[in-house]
Structure 1
């Protein structure tokens, strides 16, 4: 019986080996393809990461070179060229270009560019809020007070990180329209926010007093307490 059992075991082993070879011949290409895909995917991701890093470094160098250009008109042209290199470059270069255009005396062009950026659907809310704030204060091309109020209200209502600065600018627009009560409401609301900086508190307090208002003692003494603490 032992010889028979041994023979049967050997036969079973050979059958299993033949089946394994058959499966390997039939489906082995799948394993090979999987390995190739994994290795190829890893190599591609590494290449893409390196390419993105290289492109970012190159863009950073170009932005720095543009910033170092002393002639505003030439600087605006350099930024305009960089704005064609992708979404991130478009936003960063757009702000630089608008600043350079304003310095070169093209306030209307700077305002138009910032207006385009603030209304873009491809720009993050943080950047559209920043573009709105810059658009509202372009020297020589400040929009009408009501237009500024409408645009800044969108920033404020949207819960942007720029909301406190938008409150300051909206309050100034209200002052321009003669609506001192609405202006003081914006200023006081910003003063009550714990995130308001000492510099902004100083500006708001001075504007309130200059426009005939008063502020609470706690608000007035906050900057002094911070200064003594330093």
Structure 2
């Protein structure tokens, strides 16, 4: 049998190419032109495969870098979206809440009042709006300082919230004025009973800068539809009722 190895004409695998390359480096000179031609062709094919393999490896490395870059860009974008959503949520909250007390502001209160009025029309059940003005708050503010006044306003906000139930809204209208939306009033929960509860809570002494402070409030009420057909009507009627209550309280105090 002839010991010379005859290479078949096919594209070798990577392992075959490595083995063949080692073998070719040790192969003696071929004995005929035909064998030399076939050997050179095989060597060229092996070299081509090696170049293709190198290119494929480079392309794979480039693809991996692109994937890593895209993953990093996606992570950055997701973080930016989270921050943007959080900033939007905070901005929306600030636009509808009082910075000092954390209560809804007049914008949010009036929006909820509109919704409550629409629901009242559907269910044929009244809703009420309370206008609350703290008595002698200016004197307390002047005597103890603005920081103490702010602390008292936050205390009042907490006590108002404690008097409410689901569907109600307490709002800081401005300064020492507050609004309360009662989402539902009926025979079991009259407006007068809620006002009495609020007055009782506010009358409890609290400590401001180490000093006991008691406060009262003048409260006016308006009921939809009885006192008005729009949110502005209810607000004006409740405001007027509050001033009547304050004047009555002053007249009783001086009589």
- Indicate the TM-score class for this superposition, using the shorter chain for normalisation: under 0.3
From the CA coordinates, give the structure whose radius of gyration is larger.
2
Structure number with greater CO (CA < 8 Å, separation at least 6) is 2
Greater share of strand? 2
Provide the TM-score with structure 2 as the length reference.
0.24
Provide the TM-score with structure 1 as the length reference.
0.26
